[in-house]
Homo-oligomer: A and B are copies of this chain.
Protein backbone atom coordinates (compact mmCIF):
# COMPACT_ATOMS: atom_id res chain seq x y z
CA UNK A 1 0.00 0.00 0.00
CA UNK A 2 2.76 2.38 0.97
CA UNK A 3 4.50 0.66 -1.92
CA UNK A 4 1.77 1.87 -4.23
CA UNK A 5 2.16 5.41 -2.93
CA UNK A 6 5.92 5.22 -3.45
CA UNK A 7 5.34 4.07 -6.98
CA UNK A 8 2.84 6.84 -7.54
CA UNK A 9 5.46 9.32 -6.39
CA UNK A 10 7.90 7.84 -8.92
CA UNK A 11 5.38 8.43 -11.65
CA UNK A 12 4.65 11.95 -10.52
CA UNK A 13 8.29 12.99 -10.38
CA UNK A 14 8.88 11.35 -13.71
CA UNK A 15 5.93 13.14 -15.29
CA UNK A 16 7.33 16.42 -14.03
CA UNK A 17 10.78 15.74 -15.47
CA UNK A 18 9.80 16.86 -18.97
CA UNK A 19 9.42 20.59 -19.64
CA UNK A 20 6.57 20.10 -22.09
CA UNK A 21 4.58 18.21 -19.50
CA UNK A 22 5.23 20.79 -16.79
CA UNK A 23 4.13 23.51 -19.15
CA UNK A 24 0.98 21.61 -20.00
CA UNK A 25 0.15 21.33 -16.32
CA UNK A 26 0.81 25.02 -15.85
CA UNK A 27 -1.67 25.79 -18.58
CA UNK A 28 -4.27 23.62 -16.94
CA UNK A 29 -4.20 25.58 -13.70
CA UNK A 30 -6.59 28.20 -14.98
CA UNK A 31 -9.04 26.03 -16.86
CA UNK A 32 -9.71 22.67 -18.40
CA UNK A 33 -8.48 22.44 -21.97
CA UNK A 34 -9.15 20.28 -24.98
CA UNK A 35 -6.29 18.24 -26.37
CA UNK A 36 -6.18 20.61 -29.33
CA UNK A 37 -5.94 23.58 -26.96
CA UNK A 38 -3.08 21.92 -25.14
CA UNK A 39 -1.13 21.07 -28.26
CA UNK A 40 -1.27 24.67 -29.45
CA UNK A 41 2.22 26.18 -29.44
CA UNK A 42 4.10 22.91 -29.71
CA UNK A 43 5.04 21.60 -33.10
CA UNK A 44 4.86 18.04 -31.89
CA UNK A 45 2.66 15.54 -33.63
CA UNK A 46 -0.70 14.52 -32.22
CA UNK A 47 0.49 11.13 -31.01
CA UNK A 48 3.41 12.72 -29.21
CA UNK A 49 1.07 15.06 -27.35
CA UNK A 50 -1.13 12.09 -26.60
CA UNK A 51 1.78 10.18 -25.10
CA UNK A 52 2.68 13.08 -22.84
CA UNK A 53 -0.92 13.17 -21.66
CA UNK A 54 -0.84 9.46 -20.96
CA UNK A 55 2.27 9.86 -18.81
CA UNK A 56 0.53 12.51 -16.75
CA UNK A 57 -2.63 10.47 -16.57
CA UNK A 58 -0.67 7.48 -15.22
CA UNK A 59 0.75 9.77 -12.58
CA UNK A 60 -2.77 10.82 -11.69
CA UNK A 61 -2.02 14.43 -12.56
CA UNK A 62 -4.73 14.82 -15.16
CA UNK A 63 -8.01 13.27 -16.11
CA UNK A 64 -9.45 13.01 -19.61
CA UNK A 65 -13.15 13.21 -20.30
CA UNK A 66 -14.65 12.79 -23.72
CA UNK A 67 -17.53 15.07 -24.62
CA UNK A 68 -18.57 14.72 -28.22
CA UNK A 69 -15.44 14.35 -30.24
CA UNK A 70 -13.50 16.64 -27.95
CA UNK A 71 -11.38 15.18 -25.17
CA UNK A 72 -11.25 17.58 -22.24
CA UNK A 73 -8.28 17.52 -19.94
CA UNK A 74 -8.55 18.48 -16.32
CA UNK A 75 -5.79 19.07 -13.82
CA UNK A 76 -5.82 16.71 -10.85
CA UNK A 77 -3.32 18.31 -8.47
CA UNK A 78 -3.75 15.87 -5.58
CA UNK A 79 -0.63 13.82 -6.37
CA UNK A 80 1.44 16.98 -6.07
CA UNK A 81 0.70 16.92 -2.38
CA UNK A 82 2.88 13.83 -2.22
CA UNK A 83 5.69 15.85 -3.72
CA UNK A 84 5.12 18.61 -1.22
CA UNK A 85 5.14 16.15 1.65
CA UNK A 86 8.40 14.63 0.48
CA UNK A 87 9.87 18.12 0.14
CA UNK A 88 9.10 19.16 3.69
CA UNK A 89 12.06 17.14 4.94
CA UNK A 90 14.29 19.46 3.00
CA UNK A 91 12.64 22.77 3.73
CA UNK A 92 15.04 23.51 6.55
CA UNK A 93 17.80 23.84 3.98
CA UNK A 94 16.11 26.47 1.86
CA UNK A 95 16.45 29.96 3.10
CA UNK A 96 12.74 29.90 3.57
CA UNK A 97 12.46 33.48 4.69
CA UNK A 98 13.58 34.51 1.24
CA UNK A 99 11.57 32.01 -0.74
CA UNK A 100 8.49 32.72 -2.71
CA UNK A 101 6.72 30.54 -0.21
CA UNK A 102 7.17 33.25 2.35
CA UNK A 103 4.46 35.59 1.17
CA UNK A 104 2.14 32.66 1.04
CA UNK A 105 2.95 31.72 4.60
CA UNK A 106 2.25 35.23 5.75
CA UNK A 107 -1.11 35.12 4.09
CA UNK A 108 -1.88 31.87 5.87
CA UNK A 109 -0.89 33.08 9.27
CA UNK A 110 -2.85 36.28 8.80
CA UNK A 111 -5.85 34.20 7.97
CA UNK A 112 -5.29 32.19 11.13
CA UNK A 113 -5.27 35.30 13.31
CA UNK A 114 -8.79 36.13 12.30
Classify the secondary structure of A's interface with B: helix
Choose among B17, B91, B93, B104 the residue that contacts A13 (Cβ–Cβ < 8 A).
B17
Number of copies: 2
Are A13 and B16 in contact, with the CB atoms below 8 A?
yes
- Tell me the bound Cα distance from A85 to B89 in angstroms: 16
- Nearest-neighbour CB distance to chain B for A18, whole angstroms, equals 7
> Distance in Å from the Cβ of A3 to the closest Cβ of chain B?
9
Ordered by A's residue number, 24 sampled pairs between the chains whose C-beta atoms are within 8 Å are A9-B19, A9-B22, A10-B18, A10-B19, A13-B14, A13-B16, A13-B17, A14-B14, A14-B17, A17-B17, A26-B89, A29-B90, A77-B93, A78-B93, A80-B87, A80-B90, A80-B94, A81-B99, A84-B100, A85-B99, A88-B101, A91-B104, A105-B105, A106-B109
